[in-house]
Amino acid sequence: MHEVGGVPRYEDFPDPVGGDGDVLIDVIAVAVEHVDKQIAAGAHYASKKYLSELPMIPAFDGVGTLPDGTLVGFGDLRPPYGALAEHAVVGSRAYAPIPDGIDPVVATLLSTAVTGMSITTAAGFVSGETVLVQGATGVAGRLAVQVARLLGAGRIVATGRDDDQLRDVQALGADTVINTAVSDDALTQAFIDAGNGGYDVVVDYLWGRPTEILLRALIPESFAFAKPTRLIQVGEAAGRRLTVDAASLRTSGVEIYGAAKGFDAVTIGEAYRRIVEWALSGELAFEMETIPLSEIETAWQRTDLRGRRLVALP
């Protein structure tokens, strides 16, 4: 990629050269995620680091093999190098083995599935609680619905903007779906009706307008002790900002956490282990579309993936 906000092109680039303690990795698969595009556009807080040199190679993690053939997930590449290449060089602590039996393409999506585990690590989810997944038709949202079901959610409500995709989400385990592409008043009422007494945990990949309306819908209509709602902020597909009415926090019982709350080396490891178990058993379904790296320029601009993750194969 030759300019901030540009589109990556398939072309020759000097191979990365490692220093003492570094490891050469032959890249096998790289997921092209929304965060990669945000970084490339200069719109992410990490953009400054990854765009420090141009031209640069996008994507900050992937899956590949060590010189001895061990399959690993890797990250923390040094600019201007990224994962969307044939080779990568990383430090000795910047890779980890992929468990036996995991398809390398599926392995690129495991970390996305881990965000769904934030309902436990950040919000202390308890089996039987009601979970609302905001933005459930996206890749991470679909996985979060499945994670909530596998963890024993009593009821799962899912939102999105496309009725066909929402039907797919119901097939993955959502009990009720809400189309957010309606008027503010209609969406407010939909949140109230679907809540059936309130939501215990909200995992939010949207932010922006839908969450602003949700917070208003949670304001009680009379003096009462509101049911606590733990909202986890994960993504911003619908906007980077929202306006919060004072009453939304004062009287609704809403608590807002970032998705990283509660994550450390131990909890991330446990969450990853659960995701791997479900992947190996087939209980967790991953939806993706693979493309050869040579098609990255066209694939980078695609808008027709409909809940599938784009994975490039060098």
Tokens of 47: 């953009």
Tokens 């698969």 — which residue?
29
Whether the pLDDT of residue 263 is over 70: the answer is yes
Q: Any bridge partners for residue 95, and if so which?
A: 74
CA dist 61 to 33, 81, 184, 247, Å?
10, 11, 39, 41
Q: Are residues 133 and 243 in the same domain?
A: yes
What's the confidence (pLDDT) of residue 249? 84
What's the confidence (pLDDT) of residue 226? 67
Q: Are residues 150 and 103 in the same domain?
A: no
Q: Are residues 231 and 189 in the same domain?
A: yes
CA dist 281 to 59, 269, 277, 284, Å?
29, 18, 6, 8
What's the confidence (pLDDT) of residue 252? 75
Q: Are residues 28 and 84 in the same domain?
A: yes
Whether the pLDDT of residue 298 is over 80: the answer is yes
Long-range own/partner contacts, residues 242-250 (CB < 8 A, 24 or more apart): 242/207, 242/208, 242/209, 242/211, 242/212, 242/215, 243/212, 244/212, 244/215, 245/215, 245/216, 245/219, 247/219, 248/215, 248/216, 248/218, 248/219
Whether the pLDDT of residue 244 is over 80: the answer is yes
Q: Are residues 84 and 127 in the same domain?
A: no
Q: What is the mean pLDDT of residues 6-20?
A: 94
Q: Are residues 125 and 246 in the same domain?
A: yes
**Hey, is 287 helix, strand or coil?**
coil
Q: The dihedral of CA 18, 311, 137, 44: what is its sign?
A: positive
Q: Are residues 141 and 94 in the same domain?
A: no
CATH code, domain with 213? 3.90.180.10
Q: Answer whether residue 65 is part of any domain.
A: yes
Whether the pLDDT of residue 223 is over 70: the answer is no
CB contact at 8 A, 82 and 58: yes
What's the confidence (pLDDT) of residue 245? 86
Q: Are residues 88 and 147 in the same domain?
A: no
Per-residue confidence at 91, pLDDT binned at 50, 70, 90? Answer: very high
Residue pLDDT, tens place only, 173-210: 999 999 999 999 999 999 999 998 889 999 999 999 99
C-alpha 157/C-alpha 121 separation (Å) is 20
C-alpha 233/C-alpha 164 separation (Å) is 26
Tokens of 193: 């009706």
Q: Answer whether residue 6 is part of any domain.
A: no
- For 219, the domain range is 113-258
Whether the pLDDT of residue 225 is over 70: the answer is no
For residue 23, the one-letter residue type is V
The answer for residues whose C-beta is within 8 angstroms of residue 233's C-beta and 6 or more apart is: 204, 207, 256, 257, 258, 259
Count of domains observed in the chain: 2
Percent helix, strand and coil across the chain, each to the nearest 5:
30, 20, 45
Tokens 């191979």 — which residue?
15
What's the confidence (pLDDT) of residue 220? 84
What's the confidence (pLDDT) of residue 250? 83
Tokens of 253: 């019982």
Residue pLDDT, tens place only, 103-113: 999 999 999 99
Q: Are residues 161 and 68 in the same domain?
A: no
CA dist 190 to 2, 60, 210, 225, Å?
45, 39, 11, 22
Q: Answer whether residue 18 is part of any domain.
A: no
pTM for this entry: 0.93
What's the confidence (pLDDT) of residue 224? 66
Q: Are residues 83 and 171 in the same domain?
A: no
Q: Are residues 159 and 188 in the same domain?
A: yes
C-alpha 90/C-alpha 226 separation (Å) is 50
